[in-house]
């Protein structure tokens, strides 16, 4: 029984008084009030309590379903904003693509608000039902590449989505049951490279409503657009036009048919109505549409002309009539295009702008564009008439193009004069301060491209002239353009640019040339051929460079006509001959610049590209491929070039702070940053430079092979003279990780000067500071790799190197560690200039620490074995095993103050029970630690063979060896004497006894000495073994030699490893 029924029974059955019933009713009302309050509190609290969990769940599930990055800021949940519906709002949302659209936001916006059916949210077994959607400041950026790949295609394959979504229960379905939707202050960019189409709109406000829950319904919409731009095939048809659309669409969802009902489109002042339907069965789009203008006032059509639609357009006086109709009918898909036709006509047009003294009269035109099939070769563009009268001067033209794909056929005429001053007095030109000059046309063309290509000139009707003279154009924020003369002559063979003489701002230019097949321009399958000769005394390119915007822009946003421009230029086949006395670009002034070459089908063959920039001359020859594909379509730039220069000072191309070899101090701002090698480049270059300067490095006779590819520069067998010697280097500079660019090089250095290398190369200064104290020459072969910092200097802690350094007739002077040793031993010549002759030192550097392999050298009569490490933290740990003649110490022990070296060694020997007078040499271990400018020095006495920690044992072994040898010889001699006296039959026995006697004598001598010294022989021998084992783990000279021989610069690894 339900609860209400129980209450009724209770009240009826109980014989209580009215007073008692009232108490019970009050209690029930109080309880009901508390229950409602709790429910309201839960409605407020629950969305807040579970907000973080809901946001995390939504983000995770959304990113599982798409090949993109979905992000958003705050999420608002409410039961009251649109009660009884559940309100969900998302702020700062974005959908960002992945490769090849990485970093491009497909969609983003300020707020997205959804109204959801409450019960569908509460009950997990029901699909979530969306009742309304509103978007605030949404921005949609659609990009379609030439291969058809689109950034909106982000849905993962259905099986992948199903697999990801399998563990989730409930909320797996979504049903759109919209009552209404709206967009406020939206924007859209549609950039389709496959169709060469571009659409941009901003200030979009749109709303729609309808009964979306049924199969067939009417969708009632209203749209306002603040600025609409439409471009197709490189031609801009609408440029920031105002637009509005009121339209009712009949939606047949089961059959995917969308029919236009009542509608009105307004573009500026032009009104258009359309009729028809669009069906989308399968992958095809079936179009059946027609459109026309319901009004025929010429003023409305005029508003679509660029710059004609001005503020206060209602005050423009315009007369005349126009007609506009069109149809689109047929299938559109990847291989088929619908048929279309556009018809337009203007009769007796006239316009007078307020505030301007002149008018444009007798405007008459008739044009048809007809494409009856999917084959664009059937397209016909026919402008049978276009004419106007400006200040009493008539101008008339006609144009007809057919079979544009296979064999363009052109009939065209132009005759008349246009005085540009009259045009400026009749038509508004915002920002134009001065316009003058004369255009004079008188030409006729009637021919086909095939006639020209076959040189059937008798069938070519092409004659006349097109001239421009005395032109001057001055506009805001632009240099003044003056064209004294520009003249083109048309003939059956070619179109000649007879003359072009202009002053463009501070630049002068004179040009001439010819176009051999003008009609090829109209066919996307044909190549425009010709030649161009350019001369200029001064050309300032800075005047014509676009100003850099302070606002950040999306690198992937492509200008509407970029693709079309690339395709046009890609069909040029021109011979170029240009010479400029001074070319100004940025802060550079290139003198005597020349460019001679041949551009054909996206390839530039350079016969000569030369100039002189601040004393830096250059000459480039070779071939570059894929230029326009690289510039406009992320293609590969390839080539083989040769570069020559007598003098090239790279410091001239760097900022003043950049041209220094000093290492920036800790925390100091770097003088310049990493120079990234662009991707999509594969260029081979041979360079030959007479003198090359970079920071304070000065090289001569530089030559070698460079490869620029994979975001790296590879040097192969680059030779140079510098730093007092010769260099040969191979290696790579790798910026594939711009945050940690790597380098890996092999150097073969011959006859370099220590002082020049030390003062010039900061890495040498940091890792081998001993070079500061050496005068002379050295050879070296080494492998060097590591990571560069953002200041382009190596991170010393990352450097690894292996190689050798060979000195030649060098001297070392004022080297504190050696002076310290001289003071300890009281050897004066260790504190003077010390010659270093032909020493060969093998070394390694690991993580910025230099390890010097042991090498032998001799300073006068002191033999040394030197080895150890030096760290970039200026910590020295060097061991020197020196064999010092006793007479050298005795000779220097003159005077009480001068015998400290010998006394110290005698004292150390006495502790060990060794008599220094027994040998001619004294073996000493010298330990040098600490800073190289203030080293700590300690001495330790070594044994007779100079080995550390084995001095006493070595003496024991030496004495055992000597006495055993003496006893052995005595026993052998005795045995030989006895054997000589014996008979032949006893000779074998005598020999056996002689050998045994020798063994006994040696054993006896050893035993006697062992008794004297106990077990010290065994312990010192074990120390010797341990020492040898510890040394066996290091790299040998043979290991380093092997790596040097096998180094290949083209087998680079990232980060210089």
The DSSP code for 297 is B
d(CA 749, CA 729): 8
The residue with greater pLDDT, 719 or 994, is: 719
* pLDDT tens-digit series, residues 438-468: 999 999 999 998 998 898 888 989 999 999 9
Report residue 426 as tokens: 């009749």
Give the residue with greater pLDDT, 513 vs 626: 513
Residue with tokens 């309050």: 37
pLDDT at site 143: 93
By mean pLDDT, which of 223-237, 577-591, 836-850 is the weakest? Answer: 836-850
* Average pLDDT score over the chain: 79
Q: Is the pLDDT of residue 102 over 60?
A: yes
Query: Mean per-residue pLDDT for 904-922?
Result: 67
CA distances from 752 to 720, 744, 749 (A): 12, 21, 7
pLDDT of residue 130: 80
Q: How big is the CA angle at 652 (ends 648 and 654), to the nearest 5 degrees?
A: 120
Instruction: Provide the pLDDT for residue 339.
Output: 96
Sign of the dihedral through C-alpha 440, 445, 451, 455: negative
The verdict on pTM exceeding 0.75 is no
pLDDT value of residue 650: 80
What is the β-pairing status of strands 862-871 and 849-859? antiparallel
Mean per-residue pLDDT for 464-485? 95
Query: DSSP readout, 995-1041?
Result: HHHHHHHHHHHHHHHHHHHTTHHHHHHHHHHHHHHHHTTSPPHHHHH
3-state helix, strand, coil in the chain (%, to 5): 25, 50, 25
Question: What's the pLDDT score for residue 638?
Answer: 92
Give the pLDDT score at 273: 95
Query: CA-CA distance, 210 to 176, in Å (whole number)?
Result: 12
pLDDT digits (tens, 9 = 90+) for 526-538: 888 999 999 999 9
In this prediction, residue 662 carries a pLDDT of: 42
pLDDT at 661: 42
pLDDT at position 1025, please?
Answer: 30
Give exposure, 902-940, as e/b (b: 16+ Cβ within 10 Å).
bebbbebbeeeebebeeeebbbbbbbbebebeebebebe
Residue 107 vs residue 86, higher pLDDT = 107
pLDDT at 950: 45
- Say how many residues make up the chain: 1057
Residue 46 pLDDT: 52
- Least confident piece of the model among 145-159, 596-610, 1020-1034: 1020-1034
Q: Which range, of 715-719, 908-912, 920-924, averages the lowest pLDDT? A: 908-912
- pLDDT band at residue 1033, thresholds of 50, 70 and 90? very low
Q: Is the pLDDT at 472 greater than 90, yes or no?
A: yes
Between 298 and 1005, the more confident residue is 298
**Residue 482 binned pLDDT confidence (cut-offs 50, 70, 90):** very high
Cross-strand partners of 811:
775, 835
Q: Which residue has the higher pLDDT, 763 or 202?
A: 202
Burial track 240-250 (b if 16+ CB lie within 10 A, e otherwise): bbbbebebebe
Please return the burial class of 262, using the count of CB atoms within 10 Å of its CB with bins 0-12, 13-18 and 19+: exposed
Q: Is the pLDDT of residue 949 over 50?
A: no
511 pLDDT above the threshold of 70: yes
- Helix ranges, 734-811 (H): 754-760, 762-767
pLDDT confidence bin for 1055, thresholds 50/70/90: very low
The H-or-E segment that residue 205 falls in is strand 197-209
**What confidence category does residue 677 fall into, taking pLDDT thresholds of 50, 70 and 90?**
confident
pLDDT per residue as tens digits for the range 422-432: 999 999 998 89
pLDDT in tens, 331-349: 998 889 999 999 999 999 9
The pLDDT of 356-363, averaged and rounded, is: 95
In the three-class reduction of DSSP (H, G, I as helix; E, B as strand; rest coil), residue 680 is classed as coil
pLDDT at 356: 94
Residue 670 confidence (pLDDT): 42
pLDDT at residue 400, rounded to an integer? 96
pLDDT at 800: 86
Q: Could you tell me the two tokens for 139?
A: 């921005």
Query: What pLDDT is stored for residue 1054 in this prediction?
Result: 42
Query: Mean per-residue pLDDT for 257-283?
Result: 93
Query: What's the pLDDT band for 1020 if we cut at 50, 70, 90?
Result: very low
- The residue-averaged pLDDT of 102-118 equals 87
Spatial CA neighbour of 616 closest among 590, 596, 641, 594:
590
The CA distance from 824 to 908, in Å, is 13
Residue 1049, pLDDT score: 63
Which of 278-287, 921-930, 1006-1015 is predicted least confidently? 1006-1015
Q: What percent of the chain has pLDDT over 70?
A: 73
């Amino acid at each position: 029984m339900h609860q209400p029924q129980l209450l009724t029974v209770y009240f009826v059955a109980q014989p209580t008084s009215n007073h008692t019933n009232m108490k019970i009713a009050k209690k029930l009302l109080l309880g009901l009030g508390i229950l409602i309050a709790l429910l309201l509190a839960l409605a407020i609290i629950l969305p807040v309590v579970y907000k973080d969990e809901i946001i995390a769940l939504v983000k995770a599930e959304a990113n599982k379903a798409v090949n993109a990055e979905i992000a958003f800021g705050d999420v608002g949940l409410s039961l009251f904003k649109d009660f009884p519906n559940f309100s969900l709002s998302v702020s700062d949302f974005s959908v960002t693509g992945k490769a090849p659209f990485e970093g491009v936001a497909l969609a983003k916006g300020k707020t997205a608000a959804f109204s959801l059916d409450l019960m569908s949210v509460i009950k997990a077994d029901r699909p979530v039902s969306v009742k309304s959607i509103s978007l605030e400041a949404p921005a949609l950026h659609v990009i379609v590449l030439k291969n058809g790949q689109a950034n909106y295609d982000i849905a993962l394959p259905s099986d992948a989505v199903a697999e990801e979504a399998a563990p989730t229960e409930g909320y797996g379905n979504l049903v759109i049951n919209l009552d209404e939707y709206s967009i406020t202050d939206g924007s859209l960019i549609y950039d389709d490279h496959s169709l060469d189409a571009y659409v941009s709109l901003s200030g979009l406000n749109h709303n729609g409503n309808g009964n979306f829950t049924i199969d067939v319904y009417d969708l009632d919409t209203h749209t306002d657009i603040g600025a609409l731009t439409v471009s197709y095939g490189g031609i801009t048809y609408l440029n920031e036009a105002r637009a509005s659309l009121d339209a009712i669409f009949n939606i047949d969802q089961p059959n995917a048919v969308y029919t236009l009902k009542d509608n009105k489109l307004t573009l500026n002042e032009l009104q258009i109505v359309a009729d028809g339907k669009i069906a989308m069965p399968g992958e095809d789009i079936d179009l059946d549409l027609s459109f026309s203008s319901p009004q025929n006032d010429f003023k409305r059509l005029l508003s679509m002309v660029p710059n004609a639609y001005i503020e206060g357009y209602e005050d423009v006086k315009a007369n005349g009539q126009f007609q506009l109709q069109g149809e689109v009918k047929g299938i559109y898909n990847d291989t088929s295009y619908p048929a279309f036709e556009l018809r337009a006509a203007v009769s007796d047009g006239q316009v007078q702008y307020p505030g301007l003294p002149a008018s444009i009269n007798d405007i008459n035109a008739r044009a048809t564009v007809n494409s009856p099939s999917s084959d664009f070769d059937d397209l016909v563009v026919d402008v049978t008439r276009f004419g106007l009268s400006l200040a009493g001067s008539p101008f008339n033209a006609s144009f007809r193009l057919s079979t544009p794909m296979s064999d363009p056929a052109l009939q065209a005429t132009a005759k008349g004069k246009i005085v540009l001053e009259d045009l400026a007095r009749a038509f508004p030109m915002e920002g134009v301060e001065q316009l003058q000059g004369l255009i004079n046309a008188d030409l006729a063309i009637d021919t086909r491209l095939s006639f020209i290509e076959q040189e059937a000139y008798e069938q070519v009707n092409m004659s006349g002239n097109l001239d421009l003279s005395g032109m001057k154009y001055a506009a805001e924020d632009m240099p003044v353009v003056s064209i004294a003369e520009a003249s083109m002559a048309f003939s059956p063979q070619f179109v000649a640019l007879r003359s072009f003489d202009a002053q463009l701002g501070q630049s002068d230019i004179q040009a001439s040339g010819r176009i051999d097949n003008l009609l090829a321009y109209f066919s996307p399958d044909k190549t425009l051929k010709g030649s161009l000769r350019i001369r200029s005394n001064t050309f300032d390119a800075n005047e014509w460079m676009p100003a850099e915007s302070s606002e950040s822009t999306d690198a992937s946003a492509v200008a509407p006509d970029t693709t079309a421009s690339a395709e046009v230029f890609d069909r040029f086949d021109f011979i170029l001959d240009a010479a400029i006395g001074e070319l100004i670009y940025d802060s550079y002034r290139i003198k005597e610049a020349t460019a001679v070459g041949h551009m054909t089908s996206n390839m530039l063959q350079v016969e000569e590209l030369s100039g002189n920039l601040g004393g830096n001359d250059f000459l480039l020859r070779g071939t570059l491929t894929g230029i326009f594909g690289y510039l406009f379509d992320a293609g590969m730039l390839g080539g083989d070039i040769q570069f020559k220069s007598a003098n090239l000072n790279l410091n001239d191309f760097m900022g003043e702070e950049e041209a220094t070899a000093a290492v920036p101090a800790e925390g100091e701002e770097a003088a310049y940053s990493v120079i990234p090698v662009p991707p999509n480049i594969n260029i081979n270059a041979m360079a030959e430079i007479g003198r090359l300067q970079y920071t304070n490095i000065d090289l001569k006779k530089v030559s070698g092979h460079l490869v620029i590819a994979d975001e790296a520069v590879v040097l192969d067998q680059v030779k140079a003279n510098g730093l007092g010697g010769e260099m040969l280097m191979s290696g790579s500079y790798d910026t594939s990780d711009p945050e940690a660019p790597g380098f890996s090089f092999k150097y073969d250095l011959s006859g370099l000067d220590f002082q020049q290398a030390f003062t010039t190369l900061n890495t040498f200064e940091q890792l081998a500071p001993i070079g500061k104290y050496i005068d002379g020459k050295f050879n070296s072969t080494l492998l060097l790799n590591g990571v560069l910092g953002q200041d382009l200097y190596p991170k010393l802690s990352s450097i690894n190197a292996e190689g050798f350094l060979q000195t030649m007739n060098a001297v070392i002077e004022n080297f504190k560690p050696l002076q310290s040793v001289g003071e300890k031993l009281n050897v004066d010549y260790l504190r003077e200039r010390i010659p270093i002759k032909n020493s060969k030192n093998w070394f390694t550097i690991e993580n910025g620490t230099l390890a010097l392999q042991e090498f032998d050298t001799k300073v006068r009569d002191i033999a040394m074995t030197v080895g150890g490490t030096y760290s970039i933290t200026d910590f020295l740990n060097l061991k020197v095993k020196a064999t010092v003649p006793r007479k050298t110490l005795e000779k220097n022990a003159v005077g009480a103050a001068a015998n400290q070296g010998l006394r110290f060694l005698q004292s150390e020997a006495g502790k060990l029970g060794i008599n220094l007078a027994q040998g001619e040499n004294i073996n000493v271990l010298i330990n040098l630690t600490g800073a190289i400018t203030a080293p700590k020095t300690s001495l330790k006495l070594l044994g007779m063979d100079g080995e550390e920690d084995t001095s006493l044992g070595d003496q024991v072994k030496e004495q055992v060896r000597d006495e055993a040898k003496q006893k052995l010889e005595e026993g052998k001699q005795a045995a030989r004497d006895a054997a000589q006296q014996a008979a032949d039959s006893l000779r074998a026995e005598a020999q056996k006894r002689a050998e045994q006697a020798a063994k006994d004598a040696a054993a006896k001598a050893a035993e006697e000495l062992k008794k004297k010294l106990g077990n010290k022989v065994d312990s010192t021998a074990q120390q010797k073994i341990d020492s040898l084992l510890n040394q066996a783990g290091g790299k040998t000279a043979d290991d380093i030699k092997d790596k040097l021989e096998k180094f290949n610069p083209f087998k680079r690894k990232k980060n210089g490893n």
